[in-house]
Amino acid sequence: MFKKLIIFLSLYIICVSAVKAEYTNGVLILNEDWFGHSSGSINYYNYETEEIEYRVFGKNNGSRCLGNTSQYAQIFENRIYIVSKQSYGNDDFTGGRLIVADVTTMEQIASISELDGKDGRSFVGVDSKKGYIGTSDGIYVLDLDSFELGDCIEGTSADEGDIYSGQVGDMLCYSDDKVYAVIQDIGVVVINPIPDEIEHSIALPNIVSIFVTADGSLYASENGNGVYNFAKINTETMEIDKIDMPKGMSVQNQWGSWRSSSVACDINNNAIYFISSESSKSISRYDFETGELVEKFVTVPYGEKGEQIFYGTGLGVDPRSGNLILTTTEAGYSTHFQRNWIHFVNVDTAEIEKTIRLEDYYWFPAMLIFSNKKTDTTSIETIDSNLSKVEYYNMQGVKVENPTNGVYVKRKGGKATKVVF
């Protein structure tokens, strides 16, 4: 009897250990991590357990790791594409500038160490076969089957011998399958993915970001040289309509040490939340319908031994609840940066409802990525049987082929509406 019990328990342990972890019901926190000591990392906050699991990529990939100074990630067609500024390698671990992993299990699918001698910046999925990688100088085509890096798209590189002369920022696939990409000192370039060519260039020399609001409108923001505005882009005529803002009250300038722009869109109202140049510890809110600007919509509390400040992108909007999630660290130097927090903000009351203190470590959080629990999805044709062509985009402006639970912008026949699944 005792032997049978031992055998049963052994089999139970084996079965439990064989069950793979899933990271589909929470928020992923991409970290730059401790430069010079470790590669980038990913922590995971689980909505069900309300706990944080640390270094989930490393736990599921043995000697494989992320690159150095991981800065950007995007979920596209059940994969997560993680971009780091440099590759990483030592006697025990190796990681590329681009890592592709299964978004459910975090198991690595592919790794690219070199990006034509450039540093990594951003990624956008174009279709099931193709994506674009933004670098410190130019946009490159990526084959999503072979994961081979293609050519640099003509006109996106400054081609001046300086790997930082044509920095690419955020990119999104928006109207008529066109890609809108931010390039430092230039503005927005509009790329047709069929020939991989620039069709339009919108001059916004002080550009810092691009985003899509709840009503489906496309905006860019400028911040620099005394210019502070939000510029609405007409995707039919490529004309822009600028809304001038008070000094510093636009999305903060991130080109000096690049990171994804600090802006998040309200899913219920035609408004945005952003970190401005005027404050490193307050979130601002701007309503495009009313023109109301709230400079200090929410301010993070004092830390343990110093003020809390935002680091990296610093904020995101939960696509299910519509509430804000903030990541902060403690201002100062040395061990101050070991203290980090996640704040959950109710946007209706502008109050922090919950705060989680992370384990002491030099995380240096880069950005938040929201993972949705997998559901059985039908094709878009069954969602809207009368479509001639219907496109869905999440609130970060990323095209979604098969929408699951959440809020999306639906485009059909040149009209954009907000829909909820």
pLDDT tens, residue by residue, 323-381? 999 999 999 888 999 999 999 999 999 999 999 999 999 999 999 999 865 433 332 22
pLDDT of residue 293: 97
**Tokens representing residue 257 in the block:** 């040490």
Query: What's the burial of 4, exposed, middle or buried (CB within 10 Å: 0-12/13-18/19+)?
Result: exposed
The per-residue pLDDT for range 66-94, each reduced to its tens digit, is 999 999 999 999 999 999 999 999 888 89
Question: Does residue 298 belong to any structural domain of this protein?
Answer: yes
* Dist CA 115 CA 97 (whole Å): 7
The per-residue pLDDT for range 274-327, each reduced to its tens digit, is 999 888 899 999 999 999 999 999 999 988 888 999 999 999 999 888 999 999
pLDDT above 70 covers a percentage of the chain that reads 83
Pairing between β-strand 271-274 and β-strand 282-287 as defined by DSSP bridges: antiparallel
Q: Which residues contact 166 (CB under 8 A, 6 or more apart)?
A: 136, 137, 138, 156, 157, 158, 159, 160, 183, 184
- This prediction's pTM: 0.86
**Tokens representing residue 288 in the block:** 């495009």
Question: Does residue 396 belong to any structural domain of this protein?
Answer: yes
For range 136-161, the mean pLDDT: 92
* Dist CA 420 CA 229 (whole Å): 30
Question: Does residue 57 belong to any structural domain of this protein?
Answer: no
pLDDT of residue 360: 97
For range 199-203, the mean pLDDT: 97
Number of domains in the chain: 1
Question: Does residue 347 belong to any structural domain of this protein?
Answer: yes
**Strands annotated E in 32-156:** 41-46, 51-53, 68-76, 79-86, 88-89, 94-95, 98-102, 108-112, 120-125, 130-135, 138-143, 149-152
* Dist CA 416 CA 88 (whole Å): 42
pLDDT of residue 387: 32
Question: Does residue 375 belong to any structural domain of this protein?
Answer: yes
The parent domain of residue 274 ranges over 126-420
**Tokens representing residue 338 in the block:** 């070991």
For residue 25, the 8-state DSSP code is S
pLDDT of residue 18: 46
* Dist CA 380 CA 298 (whole Å): 38
Q: CA 161 → CA 158, 375, 377, 402, distances in Å? A: 8, 47, 47, 41
Question: Does residue 412 belong to any structural domain of this protein?
Answer: yes
The helix/strand/coil state of 223 is: strand
The per-residue pLDDT for range 124-134, each reduced to its tens digit, is 999 999 999 99
Question: Does residue 229 belong to any structural domain of this protein?
Answer: yes
Contact 264, 316 (CB under 8 A): yes
For residue 18, the 8-state DSSP code is H
Question: Does residue 9 belong to any structural domain of this protein?
Answer: no
pLDDT of residue 2: 47
Q: For residue 149, name the pLDDT band (cuts at 50, 70, 90).
A: very high
CATH code for the domain of 200 = 2.130.10.10
